[in-house]
Amino acid sequence: MRVIARGTLAAFREVHPDARVSLERWYTLVKASSWSSMDDIRRAAPKAKILNAERARFEVAGGNYRLVASFDFRRGVAFVKFVAAHAEYDRVDALTVSQF
């Protein structure tokens, strides 16, 4: 899949170096995937929380941060919608947030 907002992930890693390895793993996993449904995401990332038919939430750096991504399976694209500390995630609506 193509990942939209890779620069955002890179900028986040610079500010939060403890998230670097986890975000790089997430990017590598998504980039190498050819997912066609949320079930594919669930199998590849069992700790991911499926939010609806197009959004999923991923834990980053052992749950210190959250990443919300939207998926267009037909086009093979993952859009990073939100990445922030767990406390910030608790204050947003993960189904509608579009930080980038």
Number of domains composing the chain:
1
Domain contains 97: no
- Its domain, for residue 32, covers 2-89
Average pLDDT over residues 22-31: 96
Q: 8 in a domain, yes or no?
A: yes
pLDDT over threshold 80, residue 88:
yes
Question: What interhelical angle do 6-15 and 20-32 show, nearest 10?
Answer: 160
Task: Please tell me the pTM assigned to this model.
Answer: 0.93
For residue range 30-65, what is the model confidence (pLDDT) as tens digits?
A: 999 999 999 999 999 999 999 999 999 999 999 999
99 located within any domain: no
Mean pLDDT over all residues of the chain?
A: 95
- Please indicate, yes or no, if residue 94 is contained in any of the structural domains: no
> What are the helix (H) ranges across the chain?
6-15, 20-32, 38-44, 86-89
Share of the chain above pLDDT 70, in %: 99
